[in-house]
Chain A
């Protein structure tokens, strides 16, 4: 957990025709972390995700200062498509990121472009589709898949190149709660199985309560909180404006800790909270 996979140093950025969008970003994503990124709308989360592959600033243009290092290498002068082999990115509009007509072609696309042998392409395609729960769907037309399945197809196409890091920008914004839950469960399974590093932008941190190891709060282009998830949560809680971004459960936890001067556990579920509260407050709080 000590090595850093993505490192921003004093990074500033503005688009061709915008104000400063990222300001003085100093951020290190440790290897093996499952990082949840949150913050108000327009804070610069998507821009930060794009910077993790050098899309910002090198694909869009605009001006920047500072440095971005990915897996120990400066992104400057690297091709975005080569970086994408090591850092997989899924943007929120997943429909527009699918470029092929069938599921198999979609997954094979990157691999073919990077010169993998047809035999290996076929094997990796099969594996990736199985990993996301779409086994044997190679020949399905895209319109034969549901929205949720298309999104998992995109995930498969990103996984097929075996990236070390996965960056997802609001992957469940168009999903119902059940769909969101199962997508994140799938993501966690993949994260565990392949020892990946994951960064997810998600405004409803509740969805990632069981999984997050680290947290980043972006506010107005700046990093307002970062680090191991509970440390960052505490910093966030201490800022009355940003407090809203935390899950209700954790707001309650910090509230209680403050009121009673106690230390409570890192609740990952309501059951956990209930258990501890019943134990600690037995008889002191009437129902």
Chain B
């Protein structure tokens, strides 16, 4: 049994709040949970690379904060908070198809369907675009493109690569737009999908989110 994309999105939002609301040991525990979850869902090279890159980036953030005169404690907790928030997103992306996220955004958060659809089209066309630019670069180096010489020369040479790329990208998006029109894209696109209904597990998780998010409240008034 799994929780729906809606609950997962709420959970991610909640985590970003928790890193500020909950005591630091709890945030650290959260991180451990997130990492276990992430590696449980997916432990391919991409995931490892993402965690690695995130670690390096967090380290740089901490060093930077130290350089700007923050205390060690503040720098470390700042780094931890960022790490936890970002890992929550990694978890989300690993656990759910982007299509389901887009659907939940339209269904439950009333995001306009054009924006939601952009999420999935980006995922579809970015690899295409990268392959395209690699091809164009190859083609242009065959015709004598090189990135040597002074800055102006290099800039000029680079234009020779960019121009056909941009032209192709425009032609492609024109075709894409036409194709979406032909296929009747619009408000109905998400309305007619099988709706994502919340199950009991969702309600349990949502309840848990409410309890944890109100931690400062019951800490102040009830625990005393």
Contacts and interface: CB of A to CB of B under 8 A. Distances in A.
A81 B182 contact: yes
A113 B99 contact: no
B159 interface: no
Interface in A24-82: 53, 55, 59, 80-82
B103 to A, nearest CB: 11
B183 A99 contact: yes
Interface stretch (B44-52, B135-143, B169-177, B197-205): B169-177
Interface stretch (A89-97, A175-183, A264-272): A89-97
A113 B183 CA distance: 7
Interface stretch (B9-17, B60-68, B187-195, B216-224): B187-195
Interface stretch (B22-30, B69-77, B116-124): B116-124
Contacts of B192: 112-113, 115-116, 118
| Most-contacted residue by chain B among A95, A98, A109, A112 (CB, 10 A) | A112
Given A93-B172, A100-B120, A110 B183 contact: yes
Interface in A149-167: 157
A263 B67 CA distance: 93
A100 B124 contact: yes
A280 interface: no
Nearest to A157: B183
Interface residues on B, range: 20 to 34
A59 B124 contact: no
Nearest to B179: A97
Given A81-B183, A99-B121, A101-B120, A59 B178 contact: yes
Contacts of B179: 91, 96-99
A184 to B, nearest CB: 22
A279 interface: no
A99 B184 contact: no
A99 B124 contact: yes
Interface residues of A, number: 30
A263 B99 CA distance: 61
B183 A143 contact: no
B111 to A, nearest CB: 18
Contact of A99 (B128, B185, B188, B193): B185
A192 B133 CA distance: 41
Contacts of A113: 183-186, 188-189, 192
Contacts of B97: 101
Interface of A: 53, 55, 59, 80-82, 84, 89, 91, 93, 95-102, 105, 109-110, 112-116, 118, 142-143, 157
9 contacts: A59-B178, A80-B182, A84-B182, A93-B171, A93-B175, A97-B179, A98-B179, A110-B182, A143-B127
Interface of B: 97-99, 120-121, 123-124, 127-128, 171-173, 175-176, 178-186, 188-189, 192-194
